[in-house]
Chains A and B, each alone.
Chain A
């Protein structure tokens, strides 16, 4: 439970990083990194399921209020919160880590973490960008945006993780 209170105050921090920094450094039309997905990714496996869903909804609705599009971020985050509990079972080898442990680069190792994180980031970006461009045609544009943004988000998340790793090491 101590861990979860930490997650609660991390939520507004990541929302602020997203709206004030990352939404402004979109390099080209195709790349829009969404780093707050990290919060859902790293939740320990034994987290109460209702907490994951409500937590995702909280982050989503905060982002929606700032971006002025109620429902867009919250629905995509709630969706991956739901999916992530099933992806744990598929991607993470049984008994490889303690279920109370956070799912980070440090605990999972680079290979498993990459597969796990990229799967979730990809599903999230695909869901969000298709919802956003719902009636707009241009499947090519959509897929390119999803791919490039997934890669960028993943790289930024890796940097975040390496940074956090070093801090805890000291």
Chain B
């Protein structure tokens, strides 16, 4: 049997996981759970988008959800049927109020706006490192949230929920969207730009000495991550048909960062595994509040348990595997190569 090339294995790992999730949920899930599984697929897209910047650069950003929020609101506002918009959202800019586009083009728009916003924000912010970068991106999130909540020329304004957005209720849109994000993320990380950025993550001084422009590489990753985040925001809004700014703020930021770290921050496989694992735990725990049967055991947990449970699950995983479930490694078929020929895997970061 011919060997499967390493890069194909690495790409196949996350893609197959997402496809399995989509197929399994299409076949075997009650209609009440459908939206939860679609939600899991959208989370894969958001976390993979987050990974493109955070994973490759090693800089923690609390700001990527800004681009998710922008993508979600832009995509939502532009797809609401014209009649409803002119009735309900009268204060919108005329350009936004009097035009409506299809769901597909709204995703393209969301990605484009995410890229532009991330690029503009990134030009100054990518000069920062470490904690200063984290807090500056958190400030960007705060501004985005604040303005999207109150400015009624670009959204509902006044802290209101944006609703009446046409939904897509099949599995294939979120699944295809998640796979598209994974493919772009993978292509980026294998490109020379992705490799340069990861080199800078491992040793900034050596990378600089080798001629890598760290600012430029971070800006590129930030922009791609912004585009993918905006796109994922579009997927998110068409899943529920309504959105408020509170849905795309601190909670989402913390949950998606937690998924990335729990899965393994420095690999795309880790991002996907973390998003799927935490999402499945959430579904399991929230269903156990209604009472479920596993292996003949009837479990009936009290209300609110799922939220406590998910926090405990995350803590336990981090305590047992501080580098995440995947250890930050990409997927490989274990015994494909003799030990001495296997690609060297990344060592644990210094404590």
Q: Check if A and B associate.
A: no
B residues sitting closer than 8 Å to A (CB atoms) are none
Task: List residues of chain A with CB under 8 Å of any chain B CB.
Answer: none
